[in-house]
Every structure is written in structure tokens, then in C-alpha cells.
Amino acid sequence: MPPKINAPFVEKVLVRFIRDELGKCGCKKGILGLSGGLDSAVCATLSARALGPSNVLALIMPYGKAFPEDVRDAENLARRLGIRHETIDIAAPIDAYFAAYPTRSRVQRGNKMARERMSVLYDHSAREGGFVLGTSNKTELLIGYGTIHGDMACAINPMGDLYKTQVRELAAHLRVPAAIRRKSPTAGLWPGQTDEAEIGLAYEELDDILFGLVEERKRRKEIVEAGHRPAAVDRVVRMIRNSEFKRKLPTIAKLSLRSVGHDFLYPYDWGK
């Protein structure tokens, strides 16, 4: 299992990270999508502490009347944190698109919605002069459980090195309301969807396997010997391998001596 985190220390590091990364770019404001789920609630709380509540804008972006409880939880959290928030219904552009290009695929519809939300966030980033803060956790990033150019898109991601089970620990320390902490995690792609049903593993089991593979660099065999179902381990290994493209910029065909993405190597914080 990933080790228990010292949550107050993690809060300290992440608050500094958010403040520092934005400050270096001469930016005071952070923008994030607030879904009513755990990860974005934690990110909103950290951002409010790092930047001050008035410098955080939360966009709540439901598709029509779907998930009314999540919208209510998100709005309540934003009010509780004192951050600015706005609820924007994304049904009109989504419906217009699928009227022209119908599909029966729930995943395709869900991905399209995730990218619509990204598009709204980035437009508000330009309007506000603020940075889009990412809410993907380490578990999701490792298995690729996210929409590329959708919910994975952001300027900086404070949560990307915390497993889901560790995000829960941090959420408890940050006093994220129980209504949010007790929910079954869901990507919200369709009503009734839960992450754990779709991934086919409970987060505790998933994080245990991931921690073994990633941090401890164990082989498949050792993880199975430690008591995990071979099929579950294989599934996790496959998900990690098949999603590497989501964790990288697009591969560039190398032609010259010095190429972007290969040997044109500069820090993100260049001159900052």
C-alpha cells in the first residue's frame, strides 16, 4: 500500500507549489473545474489556501440536469471556501455537436464533454489571466483513467504525485465535507458510472498494485505472490503500458541535430 502521508506536511508543500508556480509567472489567479467529487474539492481547498479565496475561480460545468447532487455539493463547497464560482451548462454545444454527428458510445460522449469543459476552462483562463489547475491524481495518471486534452489538460497539477487513497487522507486533513468524501468516485461520464466498476478494481487494491509496480519496482510475479489476483495485476500492467501516450507530449519525428522533444532541453521554470 502507498505509505500513509503526513498530511499537514503535504499541504505545506503543495500550497507552496501552487503559490510559487503561479507567482513565478506573475499570475495570482487559479481556475479549476469543480465536479462535486473528491479530487477537485481537494485542489480547490489547496488553491484557496495558497492564493486566497478571492483569487480562485471554480467552474461547475454540468451537462444539463445530470448529477444535480454533485452540482449542489460543488456549489456548497465553493461557498464554504469563499472562492468565486460559476455554474455553466455545457449541454448546448454538446447537443449541437452530437445532433450533427450522432453516436451510441457513452465513452465518446463523455470524452467530448470532458474536452468541452477543458475548452471552457481555457477560455476563462484567458479572460481572467489565471492558470488552469489540474486535478488528476497519480492513480489516474498511471492507468490513464482520464481524457487526454480533456480533464488531463492543465497548466500545473498539484495532485499528480498522490495516489487516490492518499488524496483521501489529505481530504480528511483539509476537512473536505463528508458528503464529498463519502461518495463513490466517478468520472461522471454517464449516470451510475463509478470508477471502481469501470476499472474493475477497488482503489485500495489498485493503489497497492501500483505502489508495488511503480515505487517498489516489483515484477508482476512478486505482486501476485504478495496475494493479488493475476488477472488484476495483468490488467493494471496493461493499463499503464497502453496509456503512456497520455503522459507525454506527442512524439516528434527527429530530423535535425537539435529537435523539440528530443534534445532541445530547457526547464519549465526557465528564467523564473
Partner 1 sequence: MKVVLAQVSPRLGDVEANVELHLDILARARRAKADLVVFPELGLTGYTLKDLVEEVALDPDSDPLFRKITARTRGLAAVVGFVEERPSEKGLFYNSAAFIADGRLLHVHRKVYLPTNGMFEEAKFFAPGRDLRTFETPFGRVGLLICRDFLHYGASYVHYSSGADMIICISAAPGRGVGGGDAFETSRMWELMGEAMSYFSTAFVLYANRVGIEDGVTFAGGSFVFAPGGRLAGRAAYLDPELFVRRIDLAAVREARKKWLFKRDEKPEVILRSLERAIRAAED
**Binding positions for partner 1, rule: CB under 8 A:** 3-6, 8-10, 12-13, 16-17, 20-21, 156, 264-272
81 vs 142, beta carbon nearer partner 1:
142
Please, what is the minimum distance in Å from the beta carbon of residue 172 to partner 1? 15
Side chain identity at residue 183, one-letter code? K
104 vs 258, beta carbon nearer partner 1:
258
Angle between helices 164-173 and 38-51 (to 10 degrees): 50
All 3 cell numbers of residue 48? 484557496
Residue 225 CB contacts under 8 Å (≥ 6 apart), including other chains: none
- Strand order, beta sheet including 84-87: 84-87, 56-60, 29-33, 130-132
Beta-bridge partners for 57: 31, 84
- Longest CA–CA span in the chain (Å) reads 55
Please, what is the minimum distance in Å from the beta carbon of residue 36 to partner 1? 27
8 vs 200, beta carbon nearer partner 1:
8
Please, what is the minimum distance in Å from the beta carbon of residue 242 to partner 1? 23
Please, what is the minimum distance in Å from the beta carbon of residue 43 to partner 1? 15
23 vs 53, beta carbon nearer partner 1:
23
241 vs 258, beta carbon nearer partner 1:
258
Please, what is the minimum distance in Å from the beta carbon of residue 212 to partner 1? 16
Please, what is the minimum distance in Å from the beta carbon of residue 156 to partner 1? 8
Residue 227's Cβ-count burial label (10 Å; 0-12, 13-18, 19+) is exposed
Please, what is the minimum distance in Å from the beta carbon of residue 265 to partner 1? 4
Cβ(60)–Cβ(87) below 8 Å: yes
- Residues shown for the chain: 272
3 vs 192, beta carbon nearer partner 1:
3
102 vs 271, beta carbon nearer partner 1:
271
Within the chain, residue ranges assigned H as helices are 7-24, 38-51, 68-81, 91-100, 106-128, 138-143, 164-173, 178-181, 195-199, 203-214, 220-225, 230-242
CA dihedral 256, 261, 264, 266 (to 10 degrees): 170
